[in-house]
């Protein structure tokens, strides 16, 4: 049964793409698209966090961005669509949470003023591997966007699967309009090559690049706080400049970030006074103030 909030008949936007059924679209597909659009219309800003490969800190950035916005008083949703490695529940200490269904969909898990949805909540066992073929993955992505009862939100932060394959592509096509993408990389040149691909990907799917973050850039000594460059730094910045997208800043490798992730606590909240949290805030403030860049920049 559809709840009242799932239909968009009352909306006055005559330009909305959900107003008309597509020529090749079945009635069922059209109804689903309208339900999805009705949900997404209630979210002011939608930001996707991308990376060329896994393990570079994409979820860490997504979690801390969402937490910082929530702590400032915004209504925030965090959608973890990292299908093969949904780490958000563990990194926020929510791994034992289960989902509750409603008439029209499913309720996200709440942590303070933040609403969280992750495939991790659907796995019976944390050690379960998700072995799905393409159509099943697409199905779950669509379901996440159609069935989750976010309600009214100021921001939805989407933690996308790594790479530039079918899953991030579907997300960018389905979440309309997206304010833009934040691309996370590590400093080495090998990782930076993937950043180029991620930027090109955004250009192809017409998603504005809000900027590049270079994570694990240098190491913060837990004793004296000094940052030592253990890998050649600057790869992310060079590529951002070269490809004419904003460089948002660098986050050093900080043992407290890894520790807070393992402890299920958002770093930016629990280590709020640390110099690394301050660097994260500087980056997040830029993301907030970035006016929508021109398409493809
Ligand atoms: P991804 O989402 O790209 O796969 P994660 O955000 O899950 O990456 O990060 C991978 C691991 O690295 C996690 O254990 C996380 O706590 C840790 N990590 C991420 N960024 C940092 C950092 N700047 N300093 C220390 N550890 C980090």
* pTM exceeds 0.85: yes
What pairing do the DSSP bridges indicate for beta strands 106-107 and 153-159?
unpaired
Residue 261 CA, ligand 1 centroid: distance in Å: 8
Q: Tell me, what's the pLDDT at 137? A: 80
Closest ligand 1 atom to 82 CA: 2
For residue 167, CA distances in Å to 62, 90, 95, 163 come to 17, 22, 23, 9
- Contact status, residue 296 vs residue 271, Cβ threshold 8 Å: no
Nearest C-alpha to atom 16 of ligand 1 is from which residue? 258
For a mutational test of ligand 1's pocket, the pick from 230, 257, 267, 268, i.e. the residue with the most ligand atoms closer than 8 A to its C-beta, is 257
Nearest C-alpha to atom 23 of ligand 1 is from which residue? 253
Q: pLDDT tens digits, the chain, 297 residues: what are they?
A: 344 444 566 677 777 777 778 888 899 889 888 999 999 999 999 999 999 999 999 999 999 999 999 999 999 999 999 887 889 999 999 999 989 999 889 999 999 999 999 988 987 676 666 666 777 788 889 999 999 999 999 999 999 999 999 999 999 999 989 999 999 999 887 777 889 999 999 999 999 999 999 999 999 988 888 888 887 778 889 999 999 999 999 999 999 999 999 999 999 999 999 999 999 999 999 999 864 444 444
Using CA atoms, how far apart are residues 145 and 35, in angstroms rounded to an integer?
A: 9
CATH code for the domain defined by 30-288: 3.40.50.300
For a mutational test of ligand 1's pocket, the pick from 58, 60, 163, i.e. the residue with the most ligand atoms closer than 8 A to its C-beta, is 60
Using CA atoms, how far apart are residues 292 and 108, in angstroms rounded to an integer?
A: 28
Residues 6 or more apart from 31 whose CB is under 8 A from it? none
Q: Tell me, what's the pLDDT at 7? A: 57
Residue 283 CA, ligand 1 centroid: distance in Å: 17
Using CA atoms, how far apart are residues 237 and 90, in angstroms rounded to an integer?
A: 30
Q: Tell me, what's the pLDDT at 4? A: 46
**Any residues with Cβ below 6 Å from ligand 1, and which?**
51, 54-60, 85, 87, 215-216, 251, 253-254, 257-258, 261
46 Ramachandran zone, left/alpha/beta (phi>0; psi -120 to 50): beta
Closest ligand 1 atom to 53 CA: 3
Locate 118 and state its tokens: 């992750």
Closest ligand 1 atom to 54 CA: 4
């Amino acid at each position: 049964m559809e709840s009242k909030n799932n239909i968009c008949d009352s909306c006055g936007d005559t330009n909305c793409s959900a107003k008309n059924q597509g020529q090749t679209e079945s009635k069922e597909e059209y109804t689903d698209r309208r339900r999805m659009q009705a949900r997404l219309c209630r979210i002011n800003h939608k930001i996707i966090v991308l990376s060329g490969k896994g393990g570079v800190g994409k979820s860490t950035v997504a979690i801390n961005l969402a937490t910082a916005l929530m702590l400032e008083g915004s209504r925030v949703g965090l959608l973890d669509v990292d299908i093969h490695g949904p780490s958000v529940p563990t990194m926020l200490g929510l791994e034992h949470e289960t989902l509750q269904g409603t008439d029209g969909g499913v309720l996200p898990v709440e942590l303070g003023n933040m609403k969280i949805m992750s495939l991790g909540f659907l796995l019976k066992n944390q050690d379960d591997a998700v072995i799905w073929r393409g159509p099943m993955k697409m199905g779950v992505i669509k379901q996440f966007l159609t069935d989750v009862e976010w309600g009214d939100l100021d921001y939805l932060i989407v933690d996308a699967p790594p790479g530039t394959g079918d899953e991030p592509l579907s997300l960018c096509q389905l979440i309309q309009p997206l304010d833009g993408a934040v691309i996370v990389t590590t400093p080495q040149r090998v990782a930076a090559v993937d950043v180029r691909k991620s930027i090109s990907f955004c250009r192809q799917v017409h998603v504005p690049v809000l900027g590049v973050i270079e994570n694990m850039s240098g190491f913060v000594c837990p004793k004296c706080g000094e940052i030592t460059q253990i890998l050649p730094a600057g790869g992310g910045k060079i590529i951002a400049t070269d490809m004419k997208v904003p460089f948002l800043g660098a986050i050093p490798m900080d043992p407290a970030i890894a520790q807070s992730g393992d402890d299920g606590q958002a770093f930016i909240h629990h280590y709020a006074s640390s110099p690394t949290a301050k660097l994260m805030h500087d980056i997040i403030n830029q993301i907030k103030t970035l006016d929508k860049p021109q398409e493809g920049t």
